Structure 1
Amino acid sequence: MRSNRIFNLYRILISSLGSQHWWPADSPFEVIIGAILTQNTNWKNVEISINNLKKANLLSPNSIFNCSINDLKSYIKPSGFYRVKSDYLKYFVKEFIEHYDGDMSRLMEIESSKLRNWLLSIKGIGEETADSILLYALDRSIFVVDAYTKRIFLRHNLINKDADYKEIQSLVEETLPNDPKILGEFHALLVKVGKNFCKKKNPLCRECPIFIFPT
């Protein structure tokens, strides 16, 4: 059964690679900013941008809201696509302040499906970004599906090539315990495998910890 194979995959990865301690951040709001900035770039570039924002004391909803768009662009330029991402950050903090006074504790009180719908209504936030925010910033039991997950699952015949986001997400959520720490760990482990071994081109299959995992 696919569910047994998903669980075994998690077990092999956590045993081989250990805990990934993801998402690195000093606050839930910083996680949200990172989730928006990491779109279409690597995390090292995001870290530079976040450090720039920290130095400028711009890691709060109101400070980003009041920051000039040109200054914001310069701070997050290392993340790439900085023009559109600066708009996305502005859109998010505007909605956050208008609906929840920029208060993270108020977000924590909102039911997950309602919160997800609200996030998805904000320009620049798609399913992967919304679920990253829910899982890593708000500690909700939801699995994040990304390109690494799809590639690994497809290569190991866990999904069909036309499987959509919801199908893959449900497959994991119905298999693993309803625990944000485990779901986050599994996502982080898959990211590590995707980056280091199961590459889009020239994958390092024989070096991969799941090379012997049945297909």
Structure 2
Amino acid sequence: MSADVPGVLAALEAMHGGRPWHWRPGAAPFEVCVGAILVQNTAWANAERALDRLRQAGALDPAAMAALEPAELEALIRPAGQFRQKAKKLRAFLDLCRAAGGLNSLLALPAADLRARLLQTWGIGPETADCILCYAAAREVMVVDAYTARLFRRLGLGPEADSYDAWQRWLAAEAAADPRWRGAERLGRAHALIVLHAKHCCRKRAPRCGECLLRGRCAFAAETSGPR
């Protein structure tokens, strides 16, 4: 199995193509934006519980969420952890939407302008901003995270620097070598597959190297004697 980036992504598709992913094509943009904030520093299962509570309360809508009292919003998103901070982040995002003339107007901005505005919003960093760009605004943006670095460093691949921007530029350029990994939907799929692989196989501790199709090209697997 090839250890170049398109080859890695093909292997991940073969291993995890049937696994569910929470941000699918056609997902409601506001729900994606809220989920991208709620999942910060927690597992997706916790963010999903908070989203379910918001949905049941009829608050997964910018106007409805903005109408909530601060204590009400905090109570609804409590399962996501850091609920007071995240409630403030959601309020800041609602303010951003309002200033842009609404969520649809915000997401319709040119990609560079949208990303800049998101990064100027309290509580939104590069990963969250790019999740919103890719999954909510359908822009051709590669999302990277700690899972990205773990996987590719173990394979002996990656940029010289370890910054978010360095990883994003490197992975986007490498993936673009194969037309099958171009476009917002396919870049979103690439990010999803990397996360799924890191959670189910290439784990930080006790990785399941014996289940990985890339183990023959993985220096980490060779050093740790394969299956765990």
Residue-by-residue CA offset, 1:146-202 (whole Å, 9 max, x unaligned)? 111111111111126742111111112112243111111111011011111111122
Amino acid at match of 2:96: E
1:167 match: 166
1:208 match: 212
Judge conservation of contact 1:176–1:182 (CA < 8 Å) in 2: no
1:195 match: 199
Residue 95 of structure 2 corresponds to residue 82 of structure 1: no
How many positions carry a matched residue from both structures?
211
2:42 match: 41
Measured after TM superposition, the shift of residue 107 of structure 1 is 2.5
Distance 2:103 2:164 in 1: 30
Judge conservation of contact 1:62–1:102 (CA < 8 Å) in 2: no
Amino acid at match of 1:199: R
Distance 2:44 2:218 in 1: 31
Judge conservation of contact 1:154–1:161 (CA < 8 Å) in 2: no
Judge conservation of contact 1:22–1:185 (CA < 8 Å) in 2: no
Residue 49 of structure 2 corresponds to residue 56 of structure 1: no
2:73 match: 72
Measured after TM superposition, the shift of residue 21 of structure 1 is 4.7
Identity %, equivalent residues:
34
Residue pairs, 1:112-191, within 5 angstroms: 112-159=111-158, 162-177=161-176, 178-191=182-195
1:14 match: 13
How large is the Cα RMSD of the aligned pairs? 1.9
Measured after TM superposition, the shift of residue 26 of structure 1 is 4.4
Amino acid at match of 1:205: C
Amino acid at match of 1:195: K
Judge conservation of contact 2:47–2:80 (CA < 8 Å) in 1: yes
Measured after TM superposition, the shift of residue 16 of structure 1 is 2.7
Distance 2:214 2:75 in 1: 41
Judge conservation of contact 1:9–1:213 (CA < 8 Å) in 2: no
Distance 1:56 1:74 in 2: 11
Residue 91 and residue 198 in structure 1: after superposition, are their counterparts in 2 closer, same or farther (change >3 A)? same
TM-score by length of 2: 0.86
> Runs of 5+ in structure 2 lacking a partner?
177-181, 220-228
Measured after TM superposition, the shift of residue 59 of structure 1 is 1.0
